[in-house]
Amino acid sequence: MNGLSMIAAMLPDGTVDPANDPGLSDGDLLAVHGKMTLLRALDEKGIALQRSGRIGFYVPSTGQEACAVGAGFRLREGDWLFPSYRDHGLALTRGYPLSTLVAQLFGNRSDATRGRQMPNHWCDRNIHLVSVSSPVATQLPHAVGTAYASKLRGEPVAAITTFGDGGTSTGDFHAAMNFAGVFRTPTVFLCENNQYAISVHVTRQTASKSLAVKAQAYGIPGIRVDGNDVLAVCKVVGDALALARSGGGPTLIEAVTYRMGPHSTSDDPTVYRSEEEVEQWRKGDPIRRYAAFLKKRGLLDDEAEDTAQAEAKEAVRQAVSDAEISPPVPVESLFEDVYEEMPRHLAEQRDGLLSGKG
């Protein structure tokens, strides 16, 4: 827990390091693979939808599926989720319905949040997935406050928040980590260090020896984990969640991974990084690594893998075609939800717009 050495679980020989084994059943091991596969299929579709102009924007998490799924797999009912815009996988794994997720991309009437935000700004009351916003790391203090509330009421639940390497530079990261340390809130800070904040490499983001060591500045444990090793992520996040739920306070986890695709559909990563670098990391693709591991364990074969991929694609395709046909959100909804009750000035503005008077 010095925040420097890297925790791994899947060993090259197909076994799991007993010290870091999350102890999943064979069924769960396959379910993890299913979620990762679904996530990848979703990203491919998301990008394609944007390219063809059917949605406006998309943020893929390709290459980071082990973080999202490994962490999401340890979340329980009652826990709170404060992910970044890149972490639909966390929510999906926890139970965010694919249909709701896909509907958000279209921002039409089927979107539970009424087209209020760009794609990838998720929200779901049932699983305590708190509305994602665009400013980097603003959700971190929320995860501290929410956890404080749960703790005050004596509920054995945790709040998890995810963010990137760039997020560690923000004032909100500093505030949230420090408050979590002082108030010992049941908060798990999962930093997905994907090496880049858009074009800025993590070595330019901070001079610290690792991101996990930053935990020392707040008197909380800092753990570094191979973020492309889904079992290792599952283990350390599971432990941190358990610690939090049982009153042991917060943990910072740095999951070392790589953003294999662009920052978003607006980004062209070839401007700032080499194909060789990407290729190097592609070899460690978390899904391929995990599939190889499952195959060595005899839990998966090529055929089952193909089936999983086909099923994932079909599920996404179905969700898209369901969502896409929904009509646009009604114009008057523009003025709703600013306050619980619409005040006079907004009613006047609404009437102006609807009457064509502006």
Partner 1 sequence: MPQATLLQAIHDTLHEEMARDPRVLVMGEDVGREGGVFRVTEGLIDRFGPDRVIDTPLNEGGIVGMAIGMALNGLRPVVEIEFADFIYPAFDQIVSELAKLRYRSAGLFTAPVVVRAPSGGGIKGGAYHSQSPEAYFIHTAGLTVAMPSTPADAKGLLASAVRGPDPVLLFEPKALYRTVKGEVPEGEHLVPFGKGRIVRPGEDLTLVAWGAMVPVASMAADLAAAEGVRIEVIDPRTLWPLDIALIEESVNRTGRAVVLHEAPRTCGFGAEVSALIQERCFLRLKAPVGRVTGYDTPFPYALEKSYLPDPEKTACAVRAAMEF
Site for partner 1 in 208-267 (CB under 8 A): 266-267
CB-based contacts of 53: which residues, under 8 Å, 6+ apart?
none
If one counts every other C-beta atom within 10 angstroms of the C-beta of residue 182, the result is: 12
Q: Is 325 in the site for partner 1 (CB under 8 A)?
A: no
Q: Does 217 bind a second copy (CB under 8 A)?
A: yes
Distance CA(80)–CA(111), nearest Å, equals 21
Q: Is residue 79 within the footprint of ligand TPP (CB under 6 A)?
A: no
Annotated catalytic residue: which of 76, 272, 282, 317?
272
Answer yes or no whether residue 138 interacts with a second copy by CB under 8 A: no
- Indicate if the alpha-carbon torsion angle 170, 174, 179, 184 is positive or negative: positive
- Closest distance between ligand TPP and the C-beta of residue 187, in Å? 18
CA 353 – CA 88 distance, rounded (Å):
35
SS (H, E, C) 217-249: HHCCCEEEEECCCHHHHHHHHHHHHHHHHCCCC
Choosing from 33, 224, 245, 259, the catalytic residue is: 259
Contact code string over 82-121 relative to ligand TPP, x by CB under 6 A: --x-x-----------------------------------
Regarding 14 and contact with partner 1 (CB under 8 A), the answer is no
Please give the radius of gyration of the chain, using alpha carbons only, rounded to the nearest integer.
21
Distance CA(159)–CA(189), nearest Å, equals 9
From candidates 2, 99, 178, 216, binder to partner 1 by CB under 8 A: 178
Compute the distance between CA of residue 209 and CA of residue 258 in angstroms, rounded to an integer.
18
Binding flag, residue 259, ligand TPP (CB under 6 A): yes
Residue listed under structure tokens 């079909």: 314
Q: Tell me the pairing of strands 251-256 and 80-82.
A: unpaired
Site string for a second copy, 170-189 (x = CB under 8 A): xxxxxx--x--xx-x-----
Q: Does 208 bind a second copy (CB under 8 A)?
A: yes
Active-site residue flag, 272:
yes
214 binds, among a second copy, Mg ion, ligand TPP, none (CB under 5 to 8 A by kind): a second copy
Footprint of a second copy on this chain (CB under 8 A)? 169-175, 178, 181-182, 184, 204-209, 213-214, 216-220
Positions marked active-site: 259, 263, 272
Footprint of ligand TPP on this chain (CB under 6 A)? 84, 86, 134-136, 163-167, 194, 196-198, 259, 263
